[in-house]
Chain A
Amino acid sequence: NAGVTQTPKFQVLKTGQSMTLQCAQDMNHEYMSWYRQDPGMGLRLIHYSVGAGITDQGEVPNGYNVSRSTTEDFPLRLLSAAPSQTSVYFCASSPRRQETQYFGPGTRLLVL
């Protein structure tokens, strides 16, 4: 099993550009989440999904969209990038009715 994979590893965007951060898991997990991690702020939940077709907002959802068309994939879209979205983004998944989160390796995003 590859676990949770994220692409790209690193991305530089200009203000106003859009992009999609990819996340995939091969463990057949129902639950998937996106977090951002900033120095001194810890991990903050952006969006999460409890299954295909079901998503909900986390703590800091503004500026981000998600969709979950399959169990495996949970992409995060930045519609119009802003410097405040410079961060490291982590995708995580967890088995149905269990709480342990399995994290991907992260995507480092720099918005100029």
Chain B
Amino acid sequence: SQKIEQNSEALNIQEGKTATLTCNYTNYSPAYLQWYRQDPGRGPVFLLLIRENEKEKRKERLKVTFDTTLKQSLFHITASQPADSATYLCAPGPGAGKLIFGQGTTLQVKP
């Protein structure tokens, strides 16, 4: 069955450093992969989508890579800020409303 793995342990980093979150998937070949941010008590919010033919995608301080050979995506936040503290979810998907999410990794940025 399809499986998505994100680090279940929280990631604690110092403000100004680069945070790197990992998403691994097995038993399927998604055409794209999405990253979402979720704050406590709120619904997830879309951040970035990267397609299988794209190696890297950037948006402001965010960078996502997608390695279809390793079946892995890395999500980077450069110059991290305390406001970046949240849970980040990856979702390798086929689309059409049937999106499968990883469990999420909680990032804590300390001032």
Interface residues of A, dominant DSSP: strand
CB pairs A–B below 8 angstroms (11 shown): A32-B97, A35-B101, A40-B8, A40-B103, A42-B103, A49-B97, A56-B98, A94-B95, A99-B34, A101-B34, A105-B42
- The stretch from B44-52, B62-70, B72-80 touching chain A is B44-52
Asked if B98 contacts A102 (CB within 8 A), the reply is: no
In the complex, how many angstroms separate the beta carbon of A56 from the nearest chain B beta carbon?
8
The verdict on A75 contacting chain B, using a C-beta distance below 8 Å, is: no
What is the interface size of chain B, counting residues whose CB is below 8 A from a CB of the partner?
Answer: 24
Interface of B is mostly: loop
Q: Which of B22-36 contact A (CB under 8 A)?
A: 32, 34, 36
User: Interface of B with A (CB < 8 Å)?
Assistant: 8, 32, 34, 36, 41-46, 49, 89, 91, 93, 95-104
User: Nearest 4 CB-CB pairs, A to B?
Assistant: A103-B43, A31-B97, A42-B103, A48-B97
**Chain B positions within 8 Å of A45 at CB level:** 98-100
Report the Cα distance A45→B100, complex, angstroms: 7
A80 to chain B, nearest CB (A): 26
- Contact between A58 and B101 (Cβ–Cβ < 8 Å)? no
A97 CA / B90 CA spacing, docked (Å)? 20
B96 touches A31 (CB 8 A): yes
- From A35, A42, A102, contact of B46 by CB (8 A): A102
By beta carbon, the residue of chain B nearest A39 is B103
Closest B residue by C-beta to A56: B98
* Contact with B98, one of A58, A90, A100, A106 (Cβ below 8 angstroms): A58
Decide yes or no whether A112 CB sits under 8 A from chain B. no
